[in-house]
């Protein structure tokens, strides 16, 4: 695996090695890699000829200074995992390589910035779109791979790609879970054993809504989930919402083609998000 720390180096390398007609697959991450990230590398390997991963803890998407300072950065371990996963290129820039004082970024994300994660983490999607656009400009991928775990992020990046007319095709990969259902996430390392048990309430609330989908109205599903979550010990629920996955708007209609439930809660020192499509496997 080749490792580059500057934009110029990674771009030169890709220009040199990318043979005519071959495709580049890109997996942007913030590191502290787990099986969820590695499933994206695997999907990229299956679909494209050259796989590029980036690890960059992007300061502009953090609305909480402590969260940024404490974000896990086990870089040697990450490099080892990427080598084992046969990733071809790692782009590993410092903050100064990605940002300078002349940087300007403004994108109108319409309502996407005001709901769910956007509402709770003001400025978050502004920062995500800013860095993802920079990374797309440097890597020029044919395909970019993202996890369903951050479903709203996928919706926001799809919106940006369409709005700016970018040529990259986006691929959403399924959520990788621990054996008991907890969605893998880099911040899970900060859960105590007790928090770890409490965190399962999110997966359970989603699974119950899915199991009850055929027999209950959407408002009943919503109410039951909120009741369950508000009685679950050790968590502070931020939202449980049922949306039309295609329009990304709340839905109350069972006839909606793809219905998704999205949940977020504080558990111990961290926030956890999860989601599940309710009416399909």
Ligand X SMILES: CC(C)(CO)[C@@H](O)C(=O)[O-]
From the list ligand ATP, ligand X, ligand BAL, none, which binds 37 (C-beta under 5 to 8 Å, kind-based)?
Answer: ligand ATP
**Tokens at 154, concatenated:** 């996928």
Q: Contact at 8 Å (CB) between 2 and 11?
A: no
Q: Which does 134 bind (CB under 5 to 8 A by kind): ligand X, ligand BAL, ligand ATP, none?
A: none
SS3 156: helix
Contact positions with ligand BAL (CB under 6 A) in 48-77:
61
Please name every residue paired with 25 in a beta bridge, in sequence order, or none if there are none: 51, 143
φ/ψ of residue 156, rounded to 5: -65, -45
Residues known to be catalytic: 37
Pick one of ligand ATP, ligand BAL, ligand X, none as the site partner of residue 131 (Cβ within 5 to 8 A by kind): ligand X
Q: Does 58 bind ligand ATP (CB under 6 A)?
A: no
- Asked whether the beta carbons of 206 and 213 are under 8 A apart, the reply is no
Decide the pairing of beta strands 270-277 and 249-250. Answer: unpaired
**Alpha-carbon distance 49 to 19, whole Å?**
9
Among 42, 88, 142, 150, the residue binding ligand BAL under the rule CB under 6 A is 150
Chain residues 93-152 in contact with ligand X, contact rule CB under 6 A: 128, 131-132, 150
Nearer to ligand X, 132 or 161 (CB): 132
**Looking at beta carbons, which residue is closest to ligand BAL?**
150
- Residue closer to ligand BAL, measured from CB, 43 or 218: 43
CB of 133 to ligand BAL, least distance (A): 16
The structure tokens listed for 264 are 């977020």
Nearer to ligand BAL, 268 or 279 (CB): 268
Cβ proximity to ligand X: between 152 and 237 the closer is: 152
Q: Which residues contact 44 (CB under 8 A, 6 or more apart)?
A: 25, 26, 27, 51, 143, 145
275 binds, among ligand ATP, ligand X, ligand BAL, none (CB under 5 to 8 A by kind): none
177 DSSP 8-state letter: B
Could you tell me which residues come within 8 angstroms of residue 122 by beta carbon, excluding any fewer than 6 positions away? 63
Rounded to a whole number of angstroms, the minimum distance from the CB of residue 26 to ligand X is 10
Point out which span in 13-21, 34-42, 111-119, 133-141 binds ligand ATP (CB under 6 A): 34-42
Site stretch for ligand ATP (CB under 6 A), options 9-17, 98-106, 178-186, 224-232 = 178-186
Strand stretches in 184-234, DSSP E? none
Nearer to ligand X, 39 or 153 (CB): 153
- Following CA atoms 74, 35, 258, 112 in sequence, which dihedral angle do they give, to the nearest 10 degrees? 10
Q: With the CA atoms of 71, 114, 230 and 64 taken in that order, what torsion angle do they form, in degrees rounded to the nearest 10?
A: 20
Question: How buried is residue 258: exposed, middle or buried, by Cβ count under 10 Å (0-12/13-18/19+)?
Answer: middle
Residues lying near ligand ATP in the complex (CB under 6 A) are found at: 29-30, 36-37, 39-40, 146-147, 149-150, 173, 175-176, 183-187
Residues lying near ligand X in the complex (CB under 6 A) are found at: 28-30, 58, 61, 128, 131-132, 150, 153
């Amino acid at each position: 695996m080749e490792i580059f720390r500057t934009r110029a180096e990674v771009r030169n390398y890709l220009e040199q090695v990318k043979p005519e007609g071959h495709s580049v697959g890109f997996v942007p991450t913030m590191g502290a890699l787990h099986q969820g990230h590695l499933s994206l590398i695997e999907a990229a390997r299956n679909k494209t000829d050259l796989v590029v991963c980036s690890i960059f803890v992007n300061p502009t998407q953090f609305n909480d200074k402590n969260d940024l300072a404490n974000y896990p950065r086990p870089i040697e371990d990450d490099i080892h995992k990427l080598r084992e996963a046969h990733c071809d290129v790692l782009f590993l820039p410092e903050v100064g390589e990605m940002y300078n004082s002349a940087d300007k970024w403004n994108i109108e994300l319409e309502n996407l910035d005001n709901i769910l994660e956007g509402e709770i983490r003001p400025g978050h999607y502004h920062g995500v779109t800013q860095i993802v656009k920079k990374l797309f400009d440097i890597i020029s991928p044919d395909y970019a791979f993202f996890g369903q775990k951050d479903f709203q992020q996928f919706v926001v990046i799809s919106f940006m790609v369409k709005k700016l007319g970018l040529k990259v095709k986006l691929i959403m990969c399924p959520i990788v879970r621990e054996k008991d259902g907890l969605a893998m996430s880099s911040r899970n390392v900060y859960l105590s054993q007790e928090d770890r048990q409490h965190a399962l309430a999110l997966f359970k609330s989603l699974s119950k809504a899915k199991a009850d989908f055929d027999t209950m109205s959407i408002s009943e599903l919503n109410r039951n989930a909120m009741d369950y979550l508000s009685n679950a010990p050790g968590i502070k629920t931020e939202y449980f919402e049922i949306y039309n996955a295609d329009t990304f708007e709340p839905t109350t209609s069972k006839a909606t083609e793809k219905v998704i439930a999205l949940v977020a809660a504080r558990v111990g020192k961290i926030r956890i998000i999860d989601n599940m499509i309710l009416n399909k496997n």
